[in-house]
Chains A and B, each alone.
Chain A
């Protein structure tokens, strides 16, 4: 199985073949950016629903 050159051999905990190291850098960066964006959106949704529960008073009265 191809491993990045010069990388110390570690026990491989998978029977599954791994991805090539060259692709990982970009994959990692994209992942981090994606997580940040997702969290931002979700926090906004949560806050909006919290406020909406109070606004119901105005809507229903």
Chain B
């Protein structure tokens, strides 16, 4: 194809299609697909959040008040599946879709039609999975980890397995697209070591996705054949091994945990330099830390299984490998603090969420270090201490980063400034109530309350009630978020400038606000001064 034809073709499409159906259902535009992902994630966030509200309501006082234990188990299972696969992961894919082409100076993703497909699989996958809640046998109730033999007792297994297959295909296609974009679509002069840390974090995350989603697919396929086709992969009666499933699952599961946090590291590494008005401390160290965390994530999976009775040598190996992760993670935290040191800081909402992230994620990291110590884990394992730990890293970690990114880039997406006052209301409410919600859960776990139980001894009553109150108010605070978003997208009178934030650097801020339907049709000429990380010499 001659270049004239190529570019005339692009020139015909400077505006978005007028028809609603064409624009949103048949879109191949990275910005529109990014928006779809983000809206989908927001919807799933509220659905998964409503499950959490029901869980906390049942746990408000001792005794069963609201539901049968089996339904409680369905709620905990669905809460996890919806939040992990429906909210956190699609939100990061949405952010990647929107921002990666803008950040590397590409006109779109490398494979725009596949991009459309990988989004539109998701609503079907989740309809399939959520529909099981309305079926006679109920939804999956064996925990999101789907450990056999328990998960094989569930009538909805086939639906969940099929839904997981769909999500997996969607994630793999999304990951292929992101890697192909980053490796091939960068504007000339955007060298790998000048890319934003967010792009780096997504590049590494996408490799994790490609490596582990197929493993999950394999694991759940074996569950399916065990239940319906008479195989005995995990059935001890037929010579199978239930622990083998756990090995395969966590070989997926632990990198999955980092899939949900590495892009968050990237986001925070963009936001803090912007509002500190100082280049990020140790750019190469940051990138290297992400890469080494990703590598280590493949050799620590059995730390989820310290209580299954592994051989002593295995427990020691996995404990050492797990503890090693504290080093690159510590480097990241120290680098963020050093980025702030000597800066000229202002505290707009994205920065507030980023600072909360650094503190609260680090607390989650501390409890992670404690959990790595095998003898102590014999006590912590499967208690509320673990629940507190992973909610600190996933809610105040991943989710806070997503919210920070939303406030950071929303003016670029909508062309309007959100209400700073209400955004700060959202921040302070979130940050206070999330701690009231999750901090007491550490105490519950240490005192001996197992996780995934619908009822408990009265000794656990006080902290459970405090935690539930925090939960309800944290849930309610997210309605402020919804309000700020609706106002900031459609109603705000305050126009955003192109640069939006005084200290913002990078290609995404050189396009107008709102970002036009097509950007960088013709590759930009890169000036290193324009880039957030253009002058790396460390």
Contacts and interface: CB of A to CB of B under 8 A. Distances in A.
Please say whether the chains A and B touch (CB closer than 8 A): yes
Interface of A: 7-8, 10-11, 13-19, 21, 23-25, 27-28, 31, 34-35, 38-39, 42-43, 45-47, 49-54, 56-57, 60-61
B172 A46 contact: yes
Nearest to B11: A10
Contacts of A14: 510-511, 519-520, 524
Given A21-B3, A24-B3, A56-B248, A39 B176 contact: yes
A45 B507 CA distance: 32
**Chain A binding surface SS class:** helix
Contacts of A10: 11, 14
A47 B498 CA distance: 43
B34 to A, nearest CB: 17
A7 B185 CA distance: 24
A11 B530 CA distance: 22
Contacts of B522: 18-19, 21, 24
Nearest to A60: B244
Contacts, number: 119
Given A10-B11, A50-B218, A42 B180 contact: yes
Contacts of B251: 53
A42 B516 contact: no
B219 interface: yes
Interface stretch (B207-215, B308-316, B445-453, B472-480): B207-215
Given A46-B213, A53-B219, A35 B525 contact: no
Interface of B: 2-3, 6-7, 11, 14, 105, 110-111, 172, 175-176, 179-180, 183-185, 187-188, 210-215, 217-219, 222, 233, 241, 244, 247-248, 251, 498, 507, 510-512, 516, 518-520, 522-525, 530
A23 B523 CA distance: 10
11 contacts: A7-B7, A17-B525, A18-B522, A19-B522, A24-B3, A31-B184, A35-B111, A49-B210, A50-B218, A53-B219, A60-B241
Contact of B210 (A35, A46, A56, A61): A46
A18 B525 contact: yes
A27 B246 CA distance: 47
A52 B11 CA distance: 46
A49 B310 CA distance: 24
A43 B176 contact: yes
A8 B477 CA distance: 51
B11 A17 contact: no
Contact of B516 (A13, A38, A56): A13
Contacts of A39: 110-111, 176, 180
